[in-house]
Amino acid sequence: MPDMIFLALSAVVVASAVFALEAKELIYGTIGLGVSLVGVAGLFMLLGAEYLAMFQVAVYVGAVVVLILFTIMLVRRESGRIVDEEEPASFGSVGIYVAALVALAVAGAVILLAPVSPVAPEFYQVQLQDLGRSLAASYGVALVILGLVIGAAVVGGLTLVKIDREEKPSGTTE
C-alpha cells in the first residue's frame, strides 16, 4: 500500500505548495507552506530517513514557518502601513510557462535517460549510529563551519533589524 501513501503525500505537497503561493492572505499562505513541508517530511519517512523527517519538522515547521508568521504578524502595521498588501501579478502567465517548461524538461530528461528506473534495495534501515558517526567523523569540519556560519547569520540578521535609538537626530537642527 505504499503507492497510495506516496500518491497522497505528493498530492498534499503539491497542492499546499500552490496554495502557499496563491492564497489571498499571506498568513494562510504561510500555513500552506508549513503543510507542504510536513508533507516533504512524510516523504522522507517513506524513504526510510526518519531522523531527517523529524529534523525537517523541527527546523522548518518549528522554526522557519513560525519565524515567518511572527514577522508578518508583528510588523504587519508598522507605522500605519501594511506589510502584506500586494497587487495582482502581471507576469503570471509567463511564470506558468517558464515553470512548466523547466519541470517538464527536467523530468523528461531524467526519465528518457534512464528508462529502467532503479528499484530500491529491500530491508534497508539507516542506523542512527552510522549517521552520527559519519556526521562527526567524515564531515566534522563541515559541521563546525556550519555552526560558525549559522552564528554569523544570526548576528547579521540581528544587526540588520536593530533600530538605533541613539542615532535619532533629536538634538540636531532638523
Partner 1 sequence: MEPLSSYIILSSAMLGIGIYGLVSKRNAIRLLFSIELIVNAANINFVAFARYSNPPILSGWNIVFYSIAAAAMEATVGLALILVAFRLNGTIDIRKLNRLRG
Interface pick for partner 1 out of 110, 140, 144, 148 (rule CB under 8 A):
110
Which residues touch 6 (CB under 8 Å, ≥6 apart)?
Answer: 43, 46
Please answer whether residues 69 and 11 qualify as being in contact, where contact means their C-beta atoms are separated by less than 8 angstroms.
no
Nearer to partner 1, 1 or 173 (CB): 1
Residues 36 and 19: their CA atoms lie apart, in Å, by 9
Interface pick for partner 1 out of 12, 61, 73, 84 (rule CB under 8 A):
84
Give min distance, CB of 162 to partner 1, in A: 10
Positions in 48-67 near partner 1 (CB under 8 A): 48-49, 51-52, 55-56, 59-60, 63-64, 67
Farthest-apart Cα atoms in the chain, separation: 77
Reference 22, options 11, 14, 107; nearest CA is 14
Positions in 10-29 near partner 1 (CB under 8 A): 10, 13-14, 17-18, 20-21, 26, 29
Which residues touch 68 (CB under 8 Å, ≥6 apart)?
Answer: 30, 33
Please report which residue ranges of 47-139 form alpha helices under DSSP H: 50-56, 65-74, 92-113, 128-133
Residue type, 128: L
Give min distance, CB of 168 to partner 1, in A: 14
Positions in 30-49 near partner 1 (CB under 8 A): 30, 33, 36-37, 40, 43-44, 47-49
Positions in 133-172 near partner 1 (CB under 8 A): 134-135, 138-139, 142, 146, 149-150, 153-154, 156-158, 160-161
Give min distance, CB of 101 to partner 1, in A: 8
| Binding flag, residue 87, partner 1 (CB under 8 A) | yes
